[in-house]
């Protein structure tokens, strides 16, 4: 499913819209997990606008692909994706985190159409994703399950319980994507709790393990295609990303795990996202279709 | 309840967990969406009987309880009805975050059958005793908590759990239980206590292995003391039978709770919560494991040690009957 130039342009524009909508949602909420939301928004964009077989008008369609946002605190990026597709009203985003709203920091599958699993407590999503994948196989159905994990989340032992079992059961219909933004709440991942060599850990657990640039649609597409064509077992894509990607004064800064923007900072952030989009589109003009590897931009 | 194929002879020959395993196999035959999971305790919990019958619908995740409950939640989200078994202590503690968030929060159709509950794995010691699970599990929203008194009741409970939408926790013992129920259908219903001995002098509210002890104690109270004790098999601790508790308070004025569990927050706690809201004065005693870690020994010996056996209940009943709370001068009834 290699990307055509028009796909890339469409995805770039969509990701830009979603970054802006995520920023808006953080502002409406008063504060939010902006860093980890912007690090995974390109991954969410390519999944929801290229790879997932879904029908937003039928959120419970039995044969739909399933998606689990294991790093549930990126709900502030996920809710805009769902609202943009029409699962929920965009107006609802203005109530994000408000008292009594169906949209909280971590999305609830019983309240938000399109959410296949409630998450929030880290280290849960891969197990639920495996259960879904095993369920699809038991039913003889071809739908796939995708799980996005945070890199800091990989500190949780339960991630490795699930990794061991997914490989044992050769769950080839399961794809995990690690949002490797190299930051966690208390600091850089390698300072708080070393993860490296992360890809070797996944390989040792029996997974097909790939790397990708998490802000490059061609790179992500190549990895996702390889995951789909790998039929021996589960595949993990370690997607190299930048926390707070697109907003220059927060990008790469672990302290922007969670934050808020006053009016001035909101305007600065919007301006930065616009500049970031322009750079990506300019790079697209330069590179896409030349070497087949697409974009090279990272951060703002 | 239709479909039960056990005789009284079968239940006498089978451990409670074996009856659970056989019932699950029957459910598996009737309902293709029933799947089963364990964490390297398929043999011990007898869920392995299902594995033999339906290997493609059984998942052993190894010694990994967090993953056990997470995978169960995923299978439930895919339309299956998972029955999950490991030891009660690992259900209620090792995998609790997954039980809470993946299963209860999402109100999924996962049925958790915790075995080796209470002090029933006596010689294994505190690491395998499970004397806190009723308190823990009944604090989980959406989760029904059932503590069957014997094998036959376990069979009814397992079928009722399947029929009930949403998550259910069933707590059973290791090994054999004294047999209380015969082949007659007594109308097991989640949330409805069973009166096993009629009485108006006091009520013993029991669950699990303590129910049989309570019935034996009631027989002796009648024979030796001429006292008529009501015995309630409170097999469902959540949702608890409020009407049965309020009737017991109103009609017998003396209530003893007894459970193979800490006295903190279990059956006794649940009954106390209802009773305190009833507005009626009554004499009350909770029997259970005191606020301590249990000692090692045979199940029967441990039940005697902590006074939750026949003799313990008898002594507590006599103590309570000796107290005439209605003539207590310090009681300001006018208030």
Give chain A positions within 8 Å (CB) of B75: 131-132, 134-135, 138
Q: Residue A143: count other Cβ atoms within 10 Å of its Cβ.
A: 20
Tell me how many domains chain A contains.
1
For A215-232, b where at least 16 C-beta lie within 10 A, e where not — what string?
A: bbbbbbbbbbeebeeeee
pLDDT of residue A287: 57
The backbone torsions φ and ψ at residue B236, rounded to the nearest 5 degrees and listed phi first, read: -105, 115
The shortest C-alpha distance from B272 to chain A (Å) reads 32
What's the rounded mean pLDDT across residues A22-35?
A: 97
Convert B116-135 to b/e letters by CB count within 10 Å (16 or more is b). bbbbbbbeeeeebbbbbbbb
Instruction: Please answer yes or no on whether A121 and B72 come within 8 Å at the CB atom.
Output: no
**Ranges A242-251, A283-292, B211-220: which has the least confidence:** A283-292
> What's the confidence (pLDDT) of residue B256?
98
Distance CA B28, CA B16 (A): 18
Mean of pLDDT values over A107-113: 97
Burial of A263 (0-12, 13-18, 19+ CB in 10 A): exposed
Considering the domain boundaries, does residue A296 fall inside one? no
φ/ψ of residue A200, rounded to 5? -65, -35
Domains B8-171 and B194-324 share a fold: yes
Task: Say whether residue A73 is in contact with chain B using an 8 A CB cutoff.
Answer: no
Alpha helices in B108-237, H assignment, sequence order: 133-137, 151-163, 210-220
Q: Which of B34, B38, B39, B71 to mutate to test the interface with A (most CBs of A within 10 A)?
A: B71
What are the backbone angles phi and psi of residue A287, rounded to the nearest 5°?
A: -105, -35
With a cut of 80, say whether residue B325 has pLDDT above it: no
pTM to 2 decimals?
Answer: 0.94
> Which pLDDT does position B180 carry in this prediction?
95
CB-based contact (8 Å) between A157 and chain B?
yes
Q: Is the pLDDT of residue A291 over 80?
A: no
How near does any CA of chain B get to the CA of A205, in Å? Answer: 14
Q: What is the pLDDT of residues B261-297, one digit of tens each?
A: 999 999 999 999 999 999 888 999 999 999 999 999 9
Task: Give the model confidence (pLDDT) of A158-209 as tens digits.
Answer: 999 999 999 999 999 999 999 999 999 999 999 999 999 999 999 999 999 9
Closest CA of chain A from B71, distance in Å: 4
Q: What is the pLDDT of residue B323?
A: 75
In a domain, A174, yes or no: yes
pLDDT above 90: residue B12: no
User: Crossing angle, helix A5-29 and helix A217-229, to 10 degrees?
Assistant: 100
Two tokens, residue B207 = 């669950």
Residue numbers of the domain that contains A64: 5-287
Of residues B61, B71, B106, nearest to A110 (C-beta): B106
A155 touches chain B (CB under 8 A): no
Q: Smallest CA–CA separation between A96 and chain B, in Å?
A: 20
Q: What is the complex's ipTM, to 2 decimals?
A: 0.93
B9 versus A144: which is more confidently predicted? A144
A51-61 pLDDT, tens digit each:
999 999 999 99
Q: Is the pLDDT of residue B2 over 70?
A: no
- Indicate yes or no: CB of B66 within 8 angstroms of CB of A168: no
Test mutation, B36, B70, B98, chain A, max A CBs within 10 A? B70
Write the DSSP string, A141-176. ----EEEEEETGGGGSHHHHHHHHHHHHTT-TTEEE
Instruction: Write down the domain spans for chain B.
Output: 8-171, 194-324
Domain B8-171 has CATH 3.40.50.970: yes
Residues of chain B contacting A124 with CB distance shorter than 8 Å: 66, 70, 97-98, 101-102
What is the domain-level CATH number for residue A87? 3.40.50.970
Contact with chain B for residue A121, Cβ under 8 A: yes
Output the pLDDT for position B3. Answer: 45
Q: What pLDDT score was predicted for residue A21?
A: 98
Domain B194-324, CATH: 3.40.50.920
Q: How confident is the model at residue A2 (pLDDT cuts 50, 70, 90)?
A: confident
**Contact criterion met (CB < 8 Å) for B74 and A127:** yes
pLDDT at B330: 54
CA distance B107 to chain A (A): 8
């Amino acid at each position: 499913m290699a990307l055509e130039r028009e796909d890339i342009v469409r995805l770039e524009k969509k990701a830009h819209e979603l970054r802006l909508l995520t920023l808006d949602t953080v502002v409406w909420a008063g504060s939010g997990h902006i860093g980890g939301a912007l690090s995974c928004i390109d991954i969410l964009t390519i999944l929801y606008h290229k790879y997932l077989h879904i029908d937003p008008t039928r959120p419970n369609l039995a044969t739909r692909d399933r998606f689990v946002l294991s790093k549930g605190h990126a709900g502030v990026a996920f809710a805009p994706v769902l609202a943009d597709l029409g699962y929920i009203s965009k107006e609802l985003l203005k109530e994000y985190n408000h008292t009594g709203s169906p949209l909280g920091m971590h999305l609830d599958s019983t309240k938000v159409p399109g959410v296949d699993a409630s998450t929030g407590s880290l280290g849960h999503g891969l197990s639920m994703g495996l259960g879904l994948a095993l369920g699809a196989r038991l039913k003889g159905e071809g739908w796939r399950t995708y799980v996005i994990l945070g890199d800091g989340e990989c500190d949780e032992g339960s991630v490795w319980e699930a990794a061991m079992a997914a490989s044992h059961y050769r769950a080839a219909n399961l794809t995990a994507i690690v949002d490797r933004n190299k930051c966690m709440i208390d600091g850089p991942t390698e300072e708080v709790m070393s993860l490296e060599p992360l890809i070797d850990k996944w390989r040792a657990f029996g997974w097909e393990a790939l790397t990708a640039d998490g802000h490059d649609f061609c790179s992500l597409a190549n990895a996702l295609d390889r995951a789909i064509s790998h039929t021996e077992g589960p595949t993990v894509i370690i997607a190299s990303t930048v926390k707070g990607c697109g907003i220059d004064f927060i990008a790469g800064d672990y302290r922007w795990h969670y934050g808020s923007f006053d009016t001035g900072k909101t305007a600065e952030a919007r301006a930065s996202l616009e500049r970031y989009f322009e750079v990506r589109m300019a790079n697209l003009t330069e590179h896409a279709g030349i070497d087949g590897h697409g974009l090279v931009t990272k951060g703002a | 309840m239709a479909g039960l194929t056990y005789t009284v002879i079968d239940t006498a020959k089978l451990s409670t967990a074996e009856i659970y395993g056989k019932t699950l196999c029957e459910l598996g035959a009737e309902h293709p969406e029933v799947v089963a999971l364990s964490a390297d305790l398929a043999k011990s919990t007898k869920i392995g009987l299902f594995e033999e019958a339906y290997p493609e619908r059984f998942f052993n995740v190894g010694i990994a309880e967090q993953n056990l409950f997470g995978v169960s939640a995923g299978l439930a989200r895919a339309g299956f009805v998972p029955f999950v078994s490991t030891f009660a202590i690992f259900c209620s503690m090792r995998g609790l975050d997954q039980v809470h968030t993946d299963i209860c929060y999402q109100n999924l159709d996962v049925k958790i059958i915790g075995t080796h509950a209470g002090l029933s794995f006596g010689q294994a010691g505190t690491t395998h005793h499970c004397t806190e699970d009723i308190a823990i599990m009944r604090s989980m929203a959406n989760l029904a908590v059932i503590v069957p008194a014997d094998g036959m009741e376990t069979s009814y409970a397992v079928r009722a759990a399947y029929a009930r939408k949403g998550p259910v926790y069933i707590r059973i013992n290791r090994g054999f239980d004294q047999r209380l129920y015969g082949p007659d259908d007594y109308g097991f219903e989640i949330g409805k206590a069973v009166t096993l001995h009629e009485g108006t002098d006091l009520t013993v509210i029991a669950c699990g292995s303590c129910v049989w002890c309570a019935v034996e104690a009631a027989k002796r109270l009648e024979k030796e003391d001429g006292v008529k004790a009501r015995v309630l098999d409170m097999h469902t601790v959540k949702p608890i039978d409020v009407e049965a508790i309020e009737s017991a308070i109103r009609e017998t004025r003396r209530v003893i709770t007894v459970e193979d569990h800490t006295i903190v927050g279990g059956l006794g706690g649940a009954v106390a919560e209802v009773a305190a809201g009833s507005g009626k004065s009554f004499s009350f005693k909770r029997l259970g494991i005191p606020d301590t870690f249990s000692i090692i020994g045979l199940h029967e010996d441990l039940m005697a040690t902590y006074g939750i056996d026949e003799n313990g209940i008898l002594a507590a009943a006599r103590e309570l009957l000796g107290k005439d709370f209605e003539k207590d001068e310090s009681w300001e009834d006018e208030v």
